[in-house]
Each structure stands twice: as C-alpha cells, then as structure tokens.
C-alpha cells in the first residue's frame, strides 16, 4: 500500500481550478504547510520554452514564494504542475528536474475525458524514480 498524504479539499480545488484556467499550457507552483498541514498555494509563472509540454518555475517567483513561506513559518510541502494533454504521471523530464526529495510532487491531468485527475508522487533520489503517494482529501 502506498504512503498517504492528506490535502485539504480547498487546496485541491484551487489546483484543479488553476489547471482548468490554463488548459493549453502547464501551470505550476508550490504548496506550503504549517505544522505539517498543507495550507497555502503559491502559483508561479511557467517560464519554460515550451510551456505546453514542460514547466519551469520562474526563478524570482520561486524565491518570492519561499521567502513568503519563511516569513509565515511555513515549509515546502509540494511542487505542483499540470499536464494539459497527458496523464497525471511523471515524465522523464519531471524526473530530470526533481530537486526536492522532501517535497511531494503533484500532477494535475486535464487529459481524462472531462474528468480532472490529481495524483501525488515522491522522488526517490537514490533510485532516480518516482513512487506514488495516495492522496486523501481532507476537510479544512
């Protein structure tokens, strides 16, 4: 049985809404937690050369989000991005860019016949691979 991560339903809905609002390019950003409870979403501009197929967090946006987290006593909980026309599975590019093994990696897919899909993964740096984490939606 895979490990479990609880995400407040309001945050999950916010991620799904962000993905729907930009259906032709990948959206991305960070989720922060306080006392191990995810509570804040920091959308960050995708500055990838091909934002329809890849994501790259805007460096200044990432710095600003991390600073804001520090000031609020929050910690990095997850890195999220969407796959507009691919399943919610990590790509080889996602594995190559994974730099925070302590963070959960969330992928939102818009590719599923009118249904949004949200899945979570942990990056195993020793194995250079992702393992799935079961997501449980929690009431906030």
* pLDDT tens column, 86-128: 899 998 888 888 888 889 999 999 876 667 899 999 998 766 6
pLDDT the model gives residue 124: 80
- Mean predicted confidence (pLDDT) in 11-26: 94
Q: pTM, whole model, 2 decimals?
A: 0.92
Cα pseudo-dihedral 4, 34, 140, 43, rounded to 10: -90
- Residue 10: exposure state from Cβ atoms within 10 A (0-12, 13-18, ≥19): middle
pLDDT the model gives residue 127: 65
- Mean predicted confidence (pLDDT) in 50-69: 97
For the ranges 9-23, 95-109, 124-138, which has the lowest average pLDDT?
124-138
Architecture of domain 4-138: 3-Layer(aba) Sandwich (3.40)
- Mean predicted confidence (pLDDT) in 27-31: 98
- Mean predicted confidence (pLDDT) in 74-85: 96
For the ranges 38-47, 71-80, 108-117, which has the lowest average pLDDT?
108-117
Domain boundaries, the chain: 4-138
């Amino acid at each position: 049985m895979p490990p479990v991560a609880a995400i407040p339903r309001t945050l999950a809905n916010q991620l799904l809404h962000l993905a729907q609002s930009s259906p032709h390019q990948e959206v991305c950003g960070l989720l922060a937690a306080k006392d191990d409870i995810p509570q804040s979403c920091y959308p960050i501009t995708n500055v990838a050369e091909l934002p329809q197929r890849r994501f790259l967090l805007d460096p200044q946006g990432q710095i600003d989000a991390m600073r804001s987290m520090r000031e609020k006593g929050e910690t990095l909980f997850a890195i999220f991005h969407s796959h507009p026309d691919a399943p919610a599975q990590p790509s080889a590019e996602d594995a190559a860019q994974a730099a925070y093994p302590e963070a959960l990696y969330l992928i939102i897919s818009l590719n599923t016949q009118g249904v949004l899909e949200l899945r979570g993964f942990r990056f195993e740096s020793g194995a250079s691979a992702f393992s799935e984490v079961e997501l449980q939606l929690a009431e906030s």
